[in-house]
A and B are shown apart, each in its own frame.
Chain A
């Protein structure tokens, strides 16, 4: 049995699902304390293997973010612009070209000064060229961690998207959602008294609480996605909370990796593809898949136009099953 949970006001809806079919749905007793009171008792009584939570992370919950971009100077309109007015930004020298060449040595002093003086603890780090080589993002993370104990640090390369500004927007949003995600994960974890929770992703699939805390951005519209999925199976007439809870329970752990890689010749390409596959598999296990269940769902390789031979965009997606 898998239990789907749709937190809501005034009451939270729970759906019990077996082999992809809805067994029943009901609301948690409001007397037990919303939004998750009574959940552990119900899930435990059903012998649930997994509890899947469908929620949207609202923009209103965004925390102020300290954004560090590693790269050259640019017109003001192209500089980082964090969503929260309390945010802080800096651009420090460094980064790599798409061919992996260093553009400039990383300005470690500037990173240290900014980290130590910005007064924030949610960091988004985006380095030019990080889809090819993430060294400077990792180096910045190390400095920030030393400078700001307890800092939560999002590195843009983990979102993989091509395009510095797009990746930076993702990283800033992820960092801003961090505190809310940590709070929600704690609430759900406490309510479940030991049962492992999963969170619905935007799009399709689930991730573990650990993954959710680290990459809340991929679950930003988990409730909206679950509702669409649930309605698609149950039909448009069904009650919204039930459809949402059911949709979440239909998901399985999913994770992906996107990189730009350089490979001269078939043997080297095979090796970097193997690395991308391995990383996607590792990630999906981290996202809550039972290790034996993880497999590659898709792998695409495209040569990049107008760049030299041997530069490819690689995307690997892996799926698995909840234990």
Chain B
């Protein structure tokens, strides 16, 4: 159960490795969740649901900066899920997260509260990937479509397309809606979900978000510190991936290690950090999650807020085992971001 008492813990846990999360959109969805959570949302294991229960993944699609600027009307999660129900001809019995980073952990909670259904304990990445189809649900053979998008201006779109066309079609739609939308996608039975999700991650965040808890609790497959240092430069990157369909431009962040070997660590970012090079040699890469944690407040530094002079810790969180399979590497590995390694 996540009620008013657990919400702060869940929210704090969801930020421990959240990249690309704007402060304003996080606060916004947290306040929103607090106002709709009522007596609380039950958190259940996928296996505990009746096997034929229809489950959908709910997520923010698009830009957190845009959400922080153009506020939701409040009915987006319900409109998106109801639209999907009309298409499916059945009622949704549970909501699950696409990923559990900041607002993407809280938005499914808002949806579950508004729809009065449980939230499934788990998610579809175990980390964050920029594309809607980069999920363990895809790896488990579930299609992201039919997919419904509800925008803050009352827009509603139900989309059917081949899975590898989702991103190309969704991006311009979301942009036309102002830069963000609430997406309801991956409709599947509880049985399918049980076989495809990264399990137990909601419970982990509730634990990891408790005051004084170890950050490592939020990293079930392990984590390490790559280096501690100071951001020396933020620049346009060497230009990898220029021909790819990815939202936003690539950029590079150079961190100068303050102790140890005083290495220059170069981070190649494309919405997320996808590759870390230490003195030119690759030391970490997608599908593992690479993030910058500020020494000042222990919060993850957004790629688009990184600035020279910031003291940071570069952390690597190991991805769920399924991401390290051949198919997982293909979908979420460093080559999927256009880096020829």
Tell me the A residues contacting B by CB distance below 8 Å.
Answer: 71-78, 95, 97-99, 101, 103, 128-129, 131, 162-166, 260, 300, 302-309, 311, 313, 315
Contacts and interface: CB of A to CB of B under 8 A. Distances in A.
Nearest to A101: B178
B140 to A, nearest CB: 25
B71 A78 contact: yes
Contacts of B238: none
A95 B66 CA distance: 13
B74 interface: yes
Given A164-B68, A313-B304, A103 B153 contact: yes
A73 B73 contact: yes
B22 A72 contact: no
17 contacts: A74-B71, A74-B73, A74-B74, A78-B28, A97-B66, A98-B69, A99-B179, A162-B65, A163-B25, A163-B68, A303-B251, A305-B63, A305-B65, A305-B248, A305-B271, A307-B65, A308-B248
Interface stretch (B30-38, B44-52, B192-200, B256-264): B30-38
B178 A98 contact: yes
B37 to A, nearest CB: 11
Contact of B70 (A76, A95, A166, A302): A95
A78 B72 CA distance: 9
Nearest to B236: A303
Contacts, number: 140
A166 B302 CA distance: 17
A223 B3 CA distance: 41
B35 A304 contact: no
A75 B74 contact: yes
How would you classify the secondary structure of chain A's contact residues: helix, strand, loop or mixed? loop
A78 B31 contact: yes
Contacts of B24: 162-166
B63 A103 contact: no
B20 A306 contact: yes
Contacts of B178: 97-99, 101, 103
Given A72-B71, A164-B24, A307-B248, A300 B307 contact: yes
A254 B224 CA distance: 40
Contacts of A101: 178
A303 B34 contact: no
B153 A72 contact: yes
A299 B130 CA distance: 28
A193 B237 CA distance: 56
Contacts of A128: 69-71
Nearest to B23: A163
B306 interface: yes
B247 interface: yes
Contacts of B65: 98, 162-163, 260, 304-307, 313
Nearest to B250: A303
B64 interface: yes
Contacts of B304: 302-305, 313
A307 B22 contact: no
A316 B175 CA distance: 27
A239 B70 CA distance: 49
Contacts of B34: 77
A306 B130 contact: yes
A164 B71 contact: yes
B305 interface: yes
A19 to B, nearest CB: 27
Contact of A165 (B28, B66, B153): B28
Contacts of B71: 71-72, 74, 78, 128, 164-165
Interface in B128-154: 130, 152-153
B152 to A, nearest CB: 6
A74 B72 contact: yes
A303 B248 contact: yes
Contact of B20 (A72, A162, A300, A305): A305
Nearest to B63: A306
B175 A99 contact: yes
Interface string B291-308: 000000000001111111
A307 B234 CA distance: 18
Contact of A72 (B66, B70, B308): B70
B66 A163 contact: no
Contact of B22 (A97, A131, A162, A303): A162
A322 to B, nearest CB: 25
Contacts of B31: 77-78
A305 B247 contact: yes
B122 interface: no
B70 to A, nearest CB: 5
B249 interface: yes
B332 interface: no
B27 interface: yes
A306 to B, nearest CB: 4
Given A163-B23, A165-B71, A306-B66, 18 more contacts: A72-B152, A74-B72, A75-B73, A77-B31, A98-B66, A98-B69, A98-B178, A103-B70, A128-B71, A166-B23, A305-B248, A305-B303, A306-B248, A307-B62, A307-B247, A309-B249, A313-B65, A313-B305
